[in-house]
Amino acid sequence: MLALGDSITYGYGATSPDLSYPERLRKHLARNARVSLHVQAKPGWTSRQLNKSLPEVPQCIYDEAEIVTLMIGGNDLLRGAPVLLTGKPERIAQVCERSQSEIEEIVERANRPYNTFVIATLYNPFPNFELAERITQTYNDMIRKVAAHHRLHVFDASRAFRGHEADYVEHYKNGQFRDIRLYKNPIHPTDAGHHALYQGFFRTLQRAKASRQKRKGIRQRNRA
């Protein structure tokens, strides 16, 4: 299993490494089979930084990973905040287009015909700030576009967190962008948030498995 991302995938917000969503997911999958986990993620990484790091990953990990998860983009939006907060649609589109180019390259490097690749949308830690909601939705539309183009499976983390931000987001205050501070920012998942992410990825993998089995059954019936 290969988990790609930023500080969230790295495990920020979890009170111990075992409670991060990639490790929770690995442990669940390991109930029925031996599962090794490689996490390619660091705090602060944008999609570009993640993409630039991928040549460091041994080729055998890409070739042998049966499951790949990707959750990236939060830092793209945070670093683009001075532009994004103008609210101009063309500026928002520019940030999304730059990220899309990087995400496309990430997918092309890590995806294989035989693996199950799940890409997550972003949750909005500022649900009471209308502009942040609009920007996040636009970014997530881009993620869904990439997923459709490459036939990836989508875990809608945005939906999973909606209405639960006070429990799922560490240091959550008022759900406004002005809650940003120099430290203890309301951005990363709590233990409950990591649990929700793990559950969402797992359920998406289960649906992908069921879909494969259904297609296999149809092919067998057509050959009969």
SS (H, E, C) the chain: CEEEECHHHHCCCCCCHHHCHHHHHHHHHCCCCCCCCEEEECCCCCHHHHHHHHHHCCHHHHHHCCEEEEECCHHHHHHCHHHHCCCCHHHHHHHHHHHHHHHHHHHHHHCCCCCEEEEECCCCCCCCCHHHHHHHHHHHHHHHHHHHHHCCEEECHHHHHCCCHHHHECCCCCCCHHHCCCCCCCCCECHHHHHHHHHHHHHHHHHHHHHHHHHHHHHHHHHC
pTM more than 0.85: yes
Query: Does residue 83 contact residue 94 with C-beta atoms inside 8 Å?
Result: yes
131-135, 144-148, 178-182, 195-199 — which is least confidently predicted? Answer: 178-182
pLDDT digits 0-9 by tens, 32-55: 889 999 999 999 999 999 999 999
Whole-angstrom Cα distance, residue 71 to residue 197? 10
pLDDT value, residue 17: 96
Mean pLDDT across 135-160: 97
Q: Which domains does the chain have, with CATH numbers?
A: 2-223 (3.40.50.1110)
pLDDT value, residue 184: 83
pLDDT value, residue 221: 64
Q: Tokens standing for 204?
A: 């998406």
pLDDT value, residue 86: 85
As a whole-number percent, the residues of the chain with pLDDT over 70 amount to 95
* Closest CA relative to residue 193, chosen from 10, 7, 13, 9: 13
pLDDT digits 0-9 by tens, 88-112: 888 889 999 999 999 999 999 999 9
CA distances from 172 to 16, 99, 166, 205 (A): 19, 26, 6, 29
pLDDT value, residue 59: 96
Mean pLDDT across 214-219: 64
